[in-house]
């Protein structure tokens, strides 16, 4: 398979995955298919997987994670600084996976494929072929 198509698939899969998770925590997905369904449930989960973070910092942690997912997701989808945002996405998902593993066991992180998504993001950061990326479109003076 063409590396450009693989790179586009990874960009879209990771970026849309981030935006879907954000939509879930804001109640934009139907309740019957939501993981959290609202911000409060998301913060409760954030607290559960981060027991070492003081309770008063959980909302800030949730906001930071959500903002990162929105920025990383959009940048990956449009192809802006793909290698950078893919690497940052890999680290974000690795931290998330480790938080799940250390708080509730490795099974959850494996079942949700968090480590596989993290590895995919790191792999994406090594693909240098450009295809349908904003960086290329901007550099061609369109």
How do the domains of the chain map onto residue ranges? 3-139
Cα separation of 72 and 63, whole Å? Answer: 14
How many other CB atoms are there within 10 angstroms of residue 10's CB atom?
A: 21
| pLDDT over threshold 90, residue 142 | no
Q: What is the pTM of this model?
A: 0.91
- Each residue's pLDDT tens digit, 63-121: 999 999 999 999 999 999 999 999 999 999 999 999 999 999 999 999 999 999 999 99
Radius of gyration of the chain (CA): 16
Cα separation of 83 and 89, whole Å? Answer: 10
């Amino acid at each position: 398979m063409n590396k450009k198509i693989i790179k586009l698939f990874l960009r879209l899969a990771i970026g849309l995955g981030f935006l879907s998770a954000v939509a879930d925590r804001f109640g934009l997905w139907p309740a019957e298919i939501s993981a959290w369904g609202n911000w409060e449930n998301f913060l409760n989960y954030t607290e559960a997987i981060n027991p070492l973070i003081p309770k008063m910092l959980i909302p800030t942690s949730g906001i930071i994670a959500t903002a990162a997912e929105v920025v990383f997701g959009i940048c990956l989808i449009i192809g802006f600084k793909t290698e950078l945002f893919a690497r940052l996405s890999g680290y974000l998902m690795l931290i998330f996976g480790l938080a799940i593993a250390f708080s509730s066991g490795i099974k959850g992180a494996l079942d949700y494929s968090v480590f596989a998504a993290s590895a995919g993001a790191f792999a994406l950061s090594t693909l240098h072929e450009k295809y349908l990326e904003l960086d290329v479109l901007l550099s061609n003076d369109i």
